[in-house]
Chains A and B, each alone.
Chain A
Amino acid sequence: MSRVIRAAIFQTAWTGDKESMIQVHEQAARDAAAQGAQVMCFQELFYGPYFCQVQDKAFYEYAEAIPDGPIVKRFQALARELNLVLVLPMYEEEQPGVLYNTAAVIDADGTYLGKYRKHHIPQVPGFWEKFYFRPGNAGWPVFDTAVGKIGVYICYDRHFPEGWRALGLGGAEIVFNPSATSRGLSRYLWQLEQPASAVANEYFIGAINRVGVEDLGDNDFYGTSYFVDPEAQFVGEVASDKETELVVRDLDLAKLREVRDRWQFFRDRRPDAYGPLTAP
């Protein structure tokens, strides 16, 4: 018995200012809804440039409260209007000086469901994230939305299998992986890790990467956003490596059961033997 949902992801280039960036995303949400999309995720730190190419405290200004800040409020109204579940990767300020790389999840009726805070924070040239973010401390939430159970795993998190697993154990059916990643650094991994994680955890993954080169550095963000199914097959084509693109795909969530009936990874895993993995 199929259970098809229409899901969307959106990749775009930095417009040059925050307000127009927000408007581009509002328009994309409307475009996705016009196609009948029921759930949508934006790229990492969606309304800003990827400022982690530099270490400049001026960019702390991009952080705001979740869920009480204006952006969440604005998109709650849009979610309600479009009847669209929204995943908003943002810069979160819990209190001055306590900042996180976070994604807020809004249900299709505009209800704020909660947030995921990125756990793994890189600190390498072009990705100076420790300057901006505390490591996430809000666990591995799985959000029970109007379209199904959704998890979020942000950018650099994707290199760590443990979080993918935790979201799978939490019942996630789709995990969104909003990212900002550069051609020279990770291109060879981009179509390897998420499909492998989709297979290991037998769920769908939506991987999003921004596009273009921004003023703040040489990172060449290569887009190629995609959905991948629990058999590691891309759902439709992978998006452009240079252009703004909305990706709308039908995902048959019944495939989870079909694949899990075939491969009983969750039954056969051995948490009792994994003690060393959690030794500090």
Chain B
Amino acid sequence: MTTALEPALSVRQVLTLDRVLAGEPEVVAGAGQLDRPVRWVHVAEAPDVGVMLTGGEMVLTTGVLLAGDEEAQAEYIRSLHRAEAAAVVLGLGRAFPTPPEVMRRAAERCGLPMVVLHRPFPFAELTEEVQSRLVRRKFAAVSLSESVRTALTGLITAGAPLQRLLDEIAQHAGCPLVVTNLAHRVLATAGERPAVDDVLRDWERISRQAGGTEGDGWIRAELGGRGERWGRIVLCGYRGDTATGRLLADRAAEALVLHRMLGGTAHSWEEQSAQSLLTDLVSGVVPARQLLPRARAAGLPVNRRTFVPLVVRDGDPAQLDRVLRMLGLSGLVAELAEGATAVLLSLARDQDAQALTAHFATRLRSESGVRRTVVAAAEPRITWEDVPAGLREARHVADAVAQSATGLDLPAVVRLRDVHLRGLIRLLRDDPHVQAFAERELDGLLCGDRHAEQDLLPVLRTYLATGRNKSHTAQLHHVSRPALYRRLEAIEARLGVDLDDFEQAASVHIALLAHDAQQG
């Protein structure tokens, strides 16, 4: 749906109305100016009509008070020009049998369209027709403005997300829509995907032309409030007339400002933009290649780069962003799921991805004050198409890490090879055979006995994770060694296994990993 108003009437269009054509109009001067818009039609015989005009009027006259006074005729035309009238229409017959040469010359000199009617008709018929069209148009503009505003306000008060608001505006506009911050970074888009991608593909160049004219349907409105500008919305290639586009852009800007004031900050818009991009990348629903323009427009360097997909458990996106800035690293940060924040680093090809990832992770630990923050890293990718698999790998590693026994020190950066069996189990966690195996093996501890689940299970977990190191386990659980022995004996009795037997212990360990993977 494209919402458009009838375009404003031009002088040329008025001259093609049936009523006017019947009057046999002839343009005798200012033929190059016929596309001027007509704001109103005014019938006036007074020689000093100019002082009553405010611009854009088509003035209809018989010239009855001008006949015989050439100076008055020329001055009449000049006064219309000064008042920025759209055109003058002279009905021949009453005062002038033929077009008066003085008026024609004066009109030609100042570029005022002058039209004579060879078969004049009552002017009232024309004013009625033109003005009803103009009023209809004006009413349509008010009505469009109101309906757009009502729709957007409704969405805002219903708590709709930014994207929903933009989709609504794009529907009215029928063209791509881009919201940027002041650095021209694209925060959000709406409209038909291929058209949006076309715009984004060339965004760098297009955005640099910003602030210029509104030609070609590029219509911008500034976003800001309380004396501070923080972004703009751009209708890209609006096909209707400029006035309607302007109206839509202004309504859209009002709505976005309101949405932001009620809902959050520009920063969160930037987060939302990164989030939708990274979520789309991970999901694989949209091919990575198609997301490249969005990534570039979001400020991520993508040409000849190495991409390092990372996922940080329990990382605060704002803090991750701060650490990236502090280290001067380019990257996008977004929370993918509760407690899992993705960071997609973009490095120059000659940079040491391994070292910089470690550097980032170490600094994150020192800045957050949380010594245990773990960065799950996928292998660096040098082609963009491999990034989604990389992000999934990092998430998989992060999930596996989350299942790790507490109390064990993990390096700041963990990779797939570091999560070993845990990674495999994580991948297989939804397999019914694995689930049945875990149930079977751990049945004695998962029988609903609170003592077993709360006291024995954690001890078993630590014992196995420490490589069956009894003193370390006792230490971590703050119990004496004899107390630990008693608990281990209880575990063995309940499970019916001998934990000193490697194969049996391994089997229980795998079952426990599978159990934990299902909980996470």
Residues of A at under 8 Å CB distance from B?
A: 6, 8, 10, 28, 31-32, 34-37, 233, 236-240, 243-248, 250
Contact = CB atoms under 8 A, between A and B. Distances in A.
Contacts of B325: 239-240, 243-246
Contacts of B183: 237-238
Given A10-B328, A36-B350, A246-B327, 15 more contacts: A6-B348, A28-B326, A31-B328, A31-B363, A34-B355, A35-B327, A35-B351, A237-B183, A237-B185, A239-B325, A243-B322, A244-B322, A245-B328, A246-B325, A248-B329
B414 to A, nearest CB: 20
Interface in B51-72: none
Contacts, number: 49
B326 A246 contact: yes
Interface in B316-368: 322, 325-330, 348, 350-351, 355-356, 359, 363
A81 to B, nearest CB: 16
A38 B108 CA distance: 68
Residue among B208, B325, B330, B363 having the largest count of chain A Cβ atoms under 10 Å:
B325
Interface of B: 183, 185, 208, 299, 301, 322, 325-330, 348, 350-351, 355-356, 359, 363
A245 B350 CA distance: 22
23 contacts: A6-B348, A8-B328, A10-B328, A31-B327, A31-B359, A34-B356, A35-B327, A35-B329, A35-B356, A233-B208, A236-B330, A237-B183, A238-B183, A240-B325, A243-B322, A244-B325, A245-B326, A246-B325, A246-B326, A246-B327, A246-B328, A247-B328, A248-B328
Contacts of A36: 348, 350-351
A67 B354 CA distance: 38
Contact of A35 (B208, B299, B301, B328): B328
A237 B329 contact: no
A250 B322 CA distance: 21
A35 B183 CA distance: 24
Contacts of B359: 31, 34
B30 to A, nearest CB: 42
Nearest to A240: B325
B326 A244 contact: yes
A58 B208 CA distance: 47
Contacts of A8: 328
A247 B325 CA distance: 8
Nearest to A233: B208
A243 B355 CA distance: 24
A243 B208 CA distance: 25
Contacts of B330: 236
A209 to B, nearest CB: 15
A10 B328 CA distance: 9
A207 B180 CA distance: 23
B351 to A, nearest CB: 6
Nearest to B347: A35
A32 B436 CA distance: 52
B348 A31 contact: no
Contacts of A32: 328
Nearest to A32: B328
B316 to A, nearest CB: 14
Contacts of A233: 208
Residue among B208, B301, B326, B359 having the largest count of chain A Cβ atoms under 10 Å:
B326
B348 A250 contact: yes
Contacts of A35: 327-329, 351, 356
A247 B330 CA distance: 9
Residue among A10, A31, A247 having the largest count of chain B Cβ atoms under 10 Å:
A31
Nearest to B318: A243
Residue among B183, B328, B363 having the largest count of chain A Cβ atoms under 10 Å:
B328
Contacts of B299: 237
Residue among B183, B208, B299, B329 having the largest count of chain A Cβ atoms under 10 Å:
B183
Contacts of A37: 328
A19 B328 CA distance: 23
Contacts of A34: 327, 355-356, 359
A61 to B, nearest CB: 29
A157 B329 CA distance: 30
